[in-house]
Structure 1
Amino acid sequence: MAYLEEEFLQLSGLQHFAFCRRQWALIHIEQLWNENLRTVEGNLFHKRAHDEQIREKRGNILILRGLPIASSVIGLSGQCDVVEFHKNQNGISLAKEEGRWQPFPVEYKKGSPKSNDADVLQLCAQAMCLEEMLCCTIEEGALFYGETRHRIPVFFTKELREKVKKAADEMHQMFQRGHTPKVKQTKSCNACSLKEMCLPVLMKKQDVIKYLKTAMEEEE
């Protein structure tokens, strides 16, 4: 199945979806958002990485930032923080550049490596988009974390690609249904910027309809 361009969802949402399906639905279906210190710092950290005016060449590496990407196979679109093109005889040709080049996506994260695979899935999805757009194969990329100040290599295995495809399909199904999952409170809720909107403790005890009904009765 191939998705139409008007059906594409935000690739960045894949990270939200992997972290918490309810968080993803609140942001991408119900259009709710709330900034906290973590999100503000993260946006500032990404500002330079997404500066499309910056184009660097360091020896045999060409660096592009904020590269628009999309895939009709997984139905996602967005931007890469950084894509390095390493000079490689088995790579692809690029306009205005001599030789052949191998794409190598790099995703920048403000914090430290996570215990879940949210960041890895996001990076793999970027690679899958690049492969479709550039007609090439990308076997690896890297995650750069601001707190540790070093890269972690990521290999795009068949299993990882299948996880991305499955998650993307689930996102599309939920989006089409307009479905927001019920609360499943975890320790991660405390760090979520939507904690005050999601109300995980309250919603664990009663459903949204009952909560709204009670609130309206109190106002009357």
Structure 2
Amino acid sequence: MGDAEFTPLSALQHYLYCPRQCALIHVEQQWAENRQTAEGRLLHDRVDLPKTQRRPGVRCVTAMPLADAALGIGGIADVVEFHARADGAVETPFPVEYKRGRPKAHRADEVQLCAQALCLEAMLNVPVPAGALFYGQTRRRQDVTFDDALRQLTLQTIAAVRAMLGVGQTPSARYEARRCDACSLIDICQPHLLSRANGVQAWIARHLQESV
């Protein structure tokens, strides 16, 4: 598989946040920055350079490339901790993803992290049962268990994203204040304007159908 055939791990998080945002970024190659994305970039600066550090019982690798050719996904893990086992068996990988803000009601961050675990399992042929999300606003880790439900949601999201990117079509806009007002792409997306346009088109189509 060439690099272009791999779906970026970040696209899974973008898709669950908003399919249109995902397409604008990964199909149309659009990007804009706001305060939230700038804070996220600064938070990632400490883990953007590949290096290995050790502390008792743990080996930490930052900016680790990941891929699963069978699933067609790939990207860079912020941190992968390799925890030593008391029985001397192979170290257990433990991915850690850095996020600005605080834990969210949706599972987009968890799916991105679980996809990293799937890549690690494919690459290293060892089980990866758990990982963690580190949130910059709370300065705390949130442990994530990769149970069957999360793995199934992750696989479904991978399939949906790859299908959308394969078609290469950007979904229509629909304004939702809580989601859209925080998005750095709001001026490119124009959800207020395009949502009204979609409403007008639907009204015209409905009336044309009624007149036939």
The TM-score normalised by the length of structure 1 is 0.85
- Give, in whole Å, the separation in 2 of the partners of 1:11 and 1:71: 10
In 2: Cα distance, 1:189 partner to 1:90 partner: 50
**Aligned 8 A contact 2:98 2:133 in 1:** yes
Per the alignment, residue 167 of structure 2 pairs with 177
**Aligned equivalent of 2:41:** 43
Output the CA distance in 2 between the equivalents of 1:4 and 1:33. 24
Contact in 2 for aligned 1:35/1:193 (Cα 8 Å): yes
4+ residue runs over 3 A deviation: 3-6, 89-92
Size of the alignment, in residue pairs?
A: 198
User: Which of these residues, 189, 205, 212, is aligned with residue 180 of structure 2?
Assistant: 189
- Structure 1 residue 87 and structure 2 residue 78: aligned? no
Distance 1:67 1:14 in 2: 18
> CA distance change for structure 1 residues 91 and 132 in 2, over 3 Å: closer, same or farther?
farther
Matches within 5 A, 1:116-135: 116-135=106-125
Q: Distance in 2 between matches of 1:48 and 1:24?
A: 25
Partners of 1:6 and 1:195 lie apart in 2 by 27
Task: Kindly indicate whether the alpha-carbon contact (under 8 Å) linking 1:50 and 1:82 is maintained by their aligned counterparts in 2.
Answer: no
- CA 1:91–1:126 in structure 2 vs 1: closer, same or farther (change >3 Å)? farther
Q: 1:198 aligns with which of 189, 195, 209?
A: 189
Structure 1, unmatched stretches of 5+, are 93-99, 211-220
Measured on the aligned residues, the alpha-carbon RMSD in Å equals 1.6
The structure 1 residue matched to 2:140, chosen from 150, 154, 158, is 150
The question of whether the paired residues in 2 share the 8 Å contact of 1:89 and 1:101 is answered with no
Gaps of 5+ in 2: 202-212
Identity of aligned residues (%): 43
Corresponding residue to 2:66 among 64, 69, 73: 69
TM-score scaled by length of structure 2 = 0.89
Q: Distance in 2 between matches of 1:6 and 1:89?
A: 41
Offset, 1:110: 1.6
SS at match of 1:159: helix
